[in-house]
Amino acid sequence: MSESFYITTPIYYVNDVPHSGHAYTTIAADVLARWHRLHGHDVFFLTGLDEHGQKVQRAAAQAGIDPQQHCDRLMPHFRNLWEKLTIAHDGFIRTTDTRHHAVVRQLLHTLYDRQLIYRADYTGWYCTFDERFWTEKDVEQGNCPDCGRPVEQLSESNYFFRMSRFQQRLLDHIADNPTFIRPESRRNEVLGFLQKPLEDLSISRPKSRLSWGIDLPFDRDYVAYVWFDALVNYLSGLEYLPPRPSVDRFWPATVHLVGKDILTTHAVYWSTILMALEIPLPHTIFAHGWWTVNSEKMSKSRGNVIDPYTMVKQFGADAFRYFLLREIPFGQDGNFSLESFIGRINSDLANGLGNLVSRTVTLIERFCAGTVPCPDPAACAEQETELQAAATSLLQIAMPHHLRSDRIAYNRALEAIWSVVQLGNQYIDKTAPWVLAKAPAHEKRLSTVLFHAAETLRFLCLAIAPFMPNTAQAMSRQLGFQYDFSRALLKNPVAWGDGPTATTVVKGPSLFPRIAIPPQHGASMEQSASPRTMPSTPSSPEPDSNTSSVSHSTQESDCITIKDFQKVRLKVAKIIAAERIPKSEKLLRLRVDLGTEQRQIVAGIGKTYSPDTVLGKTVVVVTNLKPAKLMGVESQGMVLAAGDTDVISLVALAGDVAPGTTVK
């Protein structure tokens, strides 16, 4: 029997339409689910909606409809968004499902029969947004310690779960299972929370205050606390969403993906409830961070909300998926800006992957009558060995290491993929198939080169598929592989050269057209104008380099004011990749790290520096220069260098300065 893999997202409140936070968690879960399906694992990916509680009841009242109508009205927004984002979930649960109600009541009755639920009068500070009570010592200046909103004092009789009984047992479990809460920083947060005595948990709300919920099986004057109701979905969904009950098949969950704001609820509330029910705990609870926009917290009042529908419509689902998982380490907070988003599309997707696919297919069409050729082992060189080793290790070592459920490193996995993308482009540059095609004696060498370029793309197809399913399908189609990525294509090791033979390539539209940043790029993604796609232009004769030379002579008429100088934004950057631009002795394509983003810069330093000699150098870059195309390659800045006609030296810094530091 194949290995089971059960992954969940939180179930999302339906008090409003879905936002980028919902999309982030769900995309992240989808990638892991797709990766495990490719390996032939028995996968169940559960997501859905939390449709009970006070926030939902209030939102419905404000809309002038009953709560069920409100839930039914908002539900399609989530389902439609998941479809647009190509989310391939196996189950979509709604807590208004009557079958979910039955499981919640059954588990409540079990706890009640075991005398782990009791009734008591209670006075405390209540946060409506979080729908939970806080003690006097928890409240911070009249505000909820979690969300910062004002709390109100309530006195009422409620039912309580004896959570305090399980504090030491939970501490022991965390100590004995280092990967139970990830990443490490979140594990430490939970341990810090558990240093204080754990109090019993109110698991009911009186109907006199809240009627929209699941009736308690032992007292119909109360409904279940929304978090107890919601957390049970991870079990109830396995009871009735698969073709047959599958708790034994999939539980304990492999990984619960959650936002850091609900970590305590999952790591403490859910864990102690499971302990009380004598049900095994999930293997891993992984809490990710939040996104800000232009370094400000997202909010509708600020007008900086990222609307995932808008992002998909303007840029495509795969570009949005790629950016969210590539830009920051999963688990940390991240900052979204339209400028950095479009920079990623242009440099990584358009200039990187899209360029590699386009030129490979074009070369095969031009020189091999559109059929991927067979290689000649005698015509192979060290370049082919290097390319093959990088591509095969991608699937065998890098991806399995970075996509473990207890060590989720999407950005590292994508870095590994794009290192092969870069290597593939460099391989074509160095082997120059267009030159080989001019000499009949090089026919076998030409066939070998184009075969290795196509085979590299086959491996990239398989690696990219979980992250960018539409792109992988388009690549497969253009290369004639016609892979079905829902099948277990990685169940057995993938060997170099064992793909479909003599396939016919079919050139398609550009995978990722370059995009111009709109003038109002700091505005809300709900309000900003659509960026313009930039059509590809033919390469022009070699232009002047996009490099500034420092001159020591200044005429009086050339003097500028300090305000003029301040218009030029100079920042420290580190060169992290470099390669020559084909047909140019002078131009190098550089990728520089600016701390918060990476950019591609074309620099005319190739006569003085080779690519390997500039790697790792710290340089000064003009960051607000209008993008320009040099030899058909977009440059997104300027590197400062000394020299009048020819470059003598890059401008260097005396000390160790972090990338992104302002130069003034």
**Do both 151 and 127 map to the same domain?**
yes
Q: Provide the 10 A C-beta neighbour count for residue 532.
A: 12
Task: List pLDDT tens digits, range 169-181.
Answer: 999 999 999 999 9
* Least reliable range by pLDDT among 289-293, 311-315, 474-478: 289-293
State yes or no: pLDDT of 555 exceeds 50.
Answer: no
Extract long-range pairs of 234-239: CB within 8 Å, 24+ residues apart. Answer: 234/8, 234/46, 234/270, 234/282, 235/103, 235/107, 235/279, 236/93, 236/99, 236/100, 236/103, 236/104, 237/46, 237/48, 237/91, 237/93, 237/100, 238/6, 238/44, 238/46, 239/99, 239/103
Task: List pLDDT tens digits, range 79-118.
Answer: 999 999 999 999 999 999 999 999 999 999 999 999 999 9
DSSP H helices in 290-381: 308-315, 317-326, 338-344, 355-367
* Structure confidence at residue 300 as a pLDDT band (50, 70, 90): low
**Do both 556 and 525 map to the same domain?**
no
pLDDT of residue 551: 31
Q: Provide the 10 A C-beta neighbour count for residue 500.
A: 13
**Do both 515 and 468 map to the same domain?**
yes
User: What angle is formed at CA 28 by the lines to CA 27 and CA 31, rounded to 5 degrees?
Assistant: 85
Q: What's the mean pLDDT when you consider all of the chain?
A: 89
**Do both 554 and 453 map to the same domain?**
no
Tell me, yes or no, whether 451 lies in a domain.
yes
**Do both 386 and 431 map to the same domain?**
yes
Give the CB-side neighbour count of residue 14, counting CA atoms within 13 A.
Answer: 27
Tell me, yes or no, whether 137 lies in a domain.
yes
**Do both 396 and 452 map to the same domain?**
yes
The rounded Cα 24 to chain-centroid distance in angstroms is: 6
Tell me, yes or no, whether 94 lies in a domain.
yes
Using alpha carbons, list the distances in angstroms from residue 312 to 9, 78, 110, 645: 21, 14, 45, 46
* Structure confidence at residue 365 as a pLDDT band (50, 70, 90): very high
Q: CB of 240 within 8 A of CB of 99?
A: yes
What domain range includes position 501? 338-534
pTM over 0.75: yes
Last residue of a domain, one of 228, 260, 288: 288
Mean per-residue pLDDT, 492-513: 92
- The CATH number covering residue 574 comes to 2.40.50.140
State yes or no: pLDDT of 557 exceeds 50.
Answer: no
Task: List pLDDT tens digits, range 416-444.
Answer: 999 999 999 999 999 999 999 999 999 99
pLDDT of residue 531: 53
Tell me, yes or no, whether 305 lies in a domain.
no
pLDDT of residue 563: 73
pLDDT of residue 576: 87
Distance CA 141, CA 499 (A): 65
**Do both 577 and 649 map to the same domain?**
yes
Tell me, yes or no, whether 280 lies in a domain.
yes
Tell me, yes or no, whether 333 lies in a domain.
no
440 phi, psi to nearest 5 deg: -55, -30
Only one residue has tokens 């710290």, namely 618
Last residue of a domain, one of 486, 504, 534: 534
Closest CA relative to residue 180, chosen from 328, 322, 282, 65: 282
- The CATH number covering residue 50 comes to 3.40.50.620
Mean per-residue pLDDT, 554-578: 77
Distance CA 39, CA 49 (A): 29
User: What angle is formed at CA 228 by the lines to CA 104 and CA 91, rounded to 5 degrees?
Assistant: 65
Tell me, yes or no, whether 324 lies in a domain.
no
Task: List pLDDT tens digits, range 611-651.
Answer: 878 888 899 999 999 888 888 788 999 999 987 667 878 98
The rounded Cα 388 to chain-centroid distance in angstroms is: 27
**Do both 523 and 553 map to the same domain?**
no
Mean per-residue pLDDT, 201-220: 95
> In this structure, what token pair is assigned to residue 594?
């600016």
Tell me, yes or no, whether 302 lies in a domain.
no
- The CATH number covering residue 383 comes to 1.10.730.10
* Structure confidence at residue 536 as a pLDDT band (50, 70, 90): very low
* Least reliable range by pLDDT among 39-53, 501-515, 570-584: 570-584
Q: Which helix (H) or strand (E) holds 448?
A: helix 443-464
**Do both 209 and 358 map to the same domain?**
no
Q: CB of 421 within 8 A of CB of 450?
A: no
**Of 317 and 551, the one with more pLDDT:** 317
State yes or no: pLDDT of 558 exceeds 70.
Answer: no
Q: How many domains does the chain have?
A: 3
**Do both 572 and 524 map to the same domain?**
no
Last residue of a domain, one of 474, 505, 534: 534
**Do both 85 and 141 map to the same domain?**
yes
* Least reliable range by pLDDT among 69-78, 337-346, 406-415: 337-346
**Do both 363 and 457 map to the same domain?**
yes
DSSP 150: B
